[in-house]
Structure formats: structure tokens, C-alpha cells
Amino acid sequence: MTDPLKLECRVADLEFPNPLILASGILGVAPSSMLRLARAGIGGITTKSVGPRIRYGYNNPSIIEIDDGTFLNSVGLANPGIDQMILEISEFKKHSTIPLIVSVFGDGPEGFAEIAKLAEKAGCDAIEINISCPHAEVASIALSPELTHEFTHAVKKAVSIPVFAKLTPNIANIIPIAQAAEQAGADAIVAINTLRGLALDYKTGRPLLSHGIGGVSGKAIKSIGVRVIYEIYPHVNIPLIGVGGIYNWQDVLEYVYAGASAVQIGSALYQGDHIFQEINQGLLQFLESEKVSNIMDLRGKAHQYTEQLEGKPKECQ
């Protein structure tokens, strides 16, 4: 019989029963939906990004499947506002013990901090600061080490619970951004957010999303997410949460090998919430067969091969 303790992991001061966390933006904020996922075997939940007031976002179509398991979305940070979210946080925490992470945004650093304070007061376990949504005003924050530091520091000063900084892949060198978040006090880094993309109607040339440009998620970005975690891992001393294109237990292991302490799953949920139990079972069977006592024993394993990787391509003689 497999031992579920093999999947336990820690991020900052939070204990997760397994490394699978719901990514922000997938479900609404209804406690019934979040509790259903908790019963389905997920280890933690990240809410939709919430701001100071109700926001309706962009008109439909705001999300489309552009390839098998790959999506393009431009929701525009639609959310019910922090006043409603406070009620949902409180209701969820009455019925579940798994960590609840609230994703926040606001009007400037102080706005982020104020939303975070209200979410903490409502009973959430951690804050994820959304400084990287590719189709909203916050997109430019995580392109700048200075802004990343400023926003992260403001939120960290405002709350006593862990703060996670969610970073963008839409940048040439993410390492200075990750280091800026760490220096500002971030307790973990979440990577990656979606990549900027565009889909056009092949008959008319018209953009398929109402907003035009959106964020690409799902299977197509997994190797990018794994690469980003791999690149950040040697340069920071805080946990990493890997996001992007995770559909099965093998995908989870890739992120863990690259350096992730946990992962977030989003697009795959469109297949049904049964995926969490299936992924956990696959991980347990693998760990049992490999005689690994805990999944975190595999974290960063890919880096032992760094010196064996070829540097320059061979030239013709």
C-alpha cells in the first residue's frame, strides 16, 4: 500500500498534503467549487486574482482552445472585488484545512498591500501577488527588478502570512526579477504566468479574442515553465512553485527535478477534477517503485547533470 506522506511538501511555513495547487484564474471564488477540489485531492488552492472593486473584465470570447490542451485567454482580471472575496475566504476556511492562497492586485503598491491585509484578516494562509498578468495593467511590474521589489516589499510589510511573487516569462532574463522579489522579502516565487500570444481567424484575419492579444497556457508552455524554474533555482534561496502545462504526474516530476517545491495546475482542470487523484496516484506509485521516501528528495535533481551538458556545439574539422 502506498504511503500518502510521500507527497507532503512545505512551501515557506505552509504544509501541503501533496504538491498540487490550483493555479489562479481557473475557477470562480465560490466556496462550493473550491471545496469540491479539496475533496478531489488537491493540496492547495489559489483564488482568482482579486482587486479593490468588482471588475467584469473583457467581453467574450475571452478564452479559446488554440490547440489540444493549449489555451489563449484574455479575461482582464475579472473578479468580484475584495468585499465579496472576504466572505468566500471565510466560508471556505470553515470547511477545509488545506492552504488557501489569495491572488491579489490593486492600485499601486499600497493598493496591493491593502487588498492583502484584508485577505489575511479574512483567514487566508498566503498571498500571491499578481505582478505579471500579460493582458492587464500589472503586466509591466514583473519586467522591472525595481518595481518587483517595490510591490513585493509593500505587501510583505502589510501582512504576517507568506507572500508569493508570481513572475512573467515574457522577459529575456528572469533571474534579476526573482532575486529582486527575494530581496524584498518574498517567501516563494511562482513561475510562470502565461506567455503573450495572438490567434487570428484564418478566413478574415480578425483576432479571435475580444481583446486581441492574450496569454497562452497549457501544454505548449510546459517546457518553458520547466526551463524558467531550472534557471531560477541556483540563484535564490526561497522555494519555487512551478506553473505551466502540467497534465500528468510525469510533468510534475519535471518541475520538481528542475527545482520546484510544489506546482500549480490550471488548464488541465478542463479535463475534470479527477486529474488530481490520478496525478497523486501516479506520483505515489513512482516514488514507491524508486524507493524514494518523499517527493522533495527529488527536488533539483536535474542540476546534478549541469556540468555534463555540452557547452559549445562541435565544429566541422
| Contact status, residue 253 vs residue 298, Cβ threshold 8 Å | yes
| Burial tier of 309 (Cβ tally within 10 Å: 0-12, 13-18, 19+) | exposed
The residues with which 264 forms a beta bridge, in sequence order, are 21, 243
CA distance 24 to 104: 10
- Grid cell 510525469 in the structure block, residue: 250
* Grid cell 503573450 in the structure block, residue: 196
Burial of 298 (0-12, 13-18, 19+ CB in 10 A): middle
| Start-end of H helices in the chain | 31-40, 82-95, 108-122, 145-158, 175-183, 222-232, 249-258, 274-289
Peptide bond into 61 cis (omega under 30): yes
| φ, ψ of residue 73 in degrees (nearest 5) | -135, 150
Of 9, 124, 133, 316, which is the active-site residue? 133
d(CA 97, CA 282): 24
Residue 133 among the catalytic residues: yes
By annotation, the residues acting in catalysis are 133
